[in-house]
């Protein structure tokens, strides 16, 4: 019986921990363990182009973003970097 209570206590404590982490990250517009210059630049850019009345304002219907499988922005190229690398590598071999 004691094991069941311990398991419930552990589950409850884990739930509280993960709920607290979620709340902390939700307060940050771009959650990251590092508060770096690039992060600040990204946030400043987004604020600048989404603030109505700003000279840099971009209307929502003009927003465009494409992401690669790992969440990074795709390069504006007709082929993947990996494919270009493989072709160059085959040529060199």
Domain that holds residue 82: 35-93
Is 27 in the same domain as 39?
no
How many domains would you assign to the chain? 2
Is 40 in the same domain as 73?
yes
Given this model, what pLDDT does residue 48 score? Answer: 92
Entry pTM? 0.42
Is 26 in the same domain as 63?
no
Is 27 in the same domain as 40?
no
Rounded CA gap, 83 and 69, in Å?
Answer: 15
Given this model, what pLDDT does residue 23 score? Answer: 59
Classify each residue of 54-73 as buried b or exposed e, where b means 16 or more C-beta atoms within 10 Å of its C-beta: eeeeeeeeeeeeeeeeeeee
Given this model, what pLDDT does residue 56 score? Answer: 92
pLDDT (tens place) for every residue of the chain, 93 residues total: 457 777 777 777 777 666 666 655 556 667 666 788 888 888 898 889 989 999 999 998 887 776 666 666 666 566 677 788 888 999 999
51's CB contacts (< 8 A; 6+ apart) are: 57
Is 21 in the same domain as 39?
no
Is 26 in the same domain as 39?
no
């Amino acid at each position: 019986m004691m094991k069941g209570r311990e398991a419930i206590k552990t589950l409850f404590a884990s739930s509280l921990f993960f709920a607290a982490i979620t709340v902390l990250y939700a307060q940050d517009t771009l959650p990251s363990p590092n508060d770096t210059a690039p992060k600040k630049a990204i946030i400043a850019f987004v604020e600048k182009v989404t603030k109505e009345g700003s000279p840099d304002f971009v209307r929502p219907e003009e927003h465009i973003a494409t992401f690669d499988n790992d969440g990074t922005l795709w390069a504006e190229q007709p082929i993947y970097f990996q494919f270009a690398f493989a072709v160059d590598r085959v040529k060199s071999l």
